[in-house]
């Protein structure tokens, strides 16, 4: 199993797939609107409420993305910057 999480300023997305015959077959796809960037342009900060929505979403993703017997092997990160 392989999983990919996209953390955007408006929504988070989770894809879970299996490697089959030289390609990834998607077995689970979840998206959740978290509005992490809500009011960031005005305040320059992520609000406590938005932060909690993001954490709650990641907790739900964690219960979905870790099937019985699975373990974590690698992490890769990519980032973009918002200039205010």
pLDDT at residue 64, rounded to an integer: 78
Residue 20, token pair as written in the block: 């089959």
Nearest one of 4, 9, 6, 5 to 81, comparing CA atoms: 9
Per-residue pLDDT tens digits for 12-56: 999 888 888 999 888 889 999 999 999 998 999 999 999 999 999
| 19, β-bridge pairs | 24
| Cα angle 29, 30, 31; round to 5 | 130
Domains observed in the chain: 2-65 (3.30.420.40)
Per-residue pLDDT tens digits for 46-83: 999 999 999 999 999 888 756 545 556 666 666 666 55
Residues 10 and 50: their CA atoms lie apart, in Å, by 10
Q: What is the largest CA-CA distance in the chain?
A: 49
pTM: 0.75
Q: How confident is the model at residue 84 (pLDDT cuts 50, 70, 90)?
A: low
């Amino acid at each position: 199993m392989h999983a990919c999480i996209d953390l955007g300023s408006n929504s988070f997305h989770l894809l879970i797939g299996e490697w089959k015959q030289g390609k990834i077959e998607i077995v689970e796809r979840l998206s959740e609107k978290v509005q992490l960037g809500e009011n960031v342009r005005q305040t320059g900060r992520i609000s406590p409420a938005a932060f909690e929505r993001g954490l709650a979403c990641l907790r739900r993703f964690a219960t979905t993305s870790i099937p019985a017997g699975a373990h974590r092997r690698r992490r890769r990160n990519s980032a973009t910057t918002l200039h205010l």
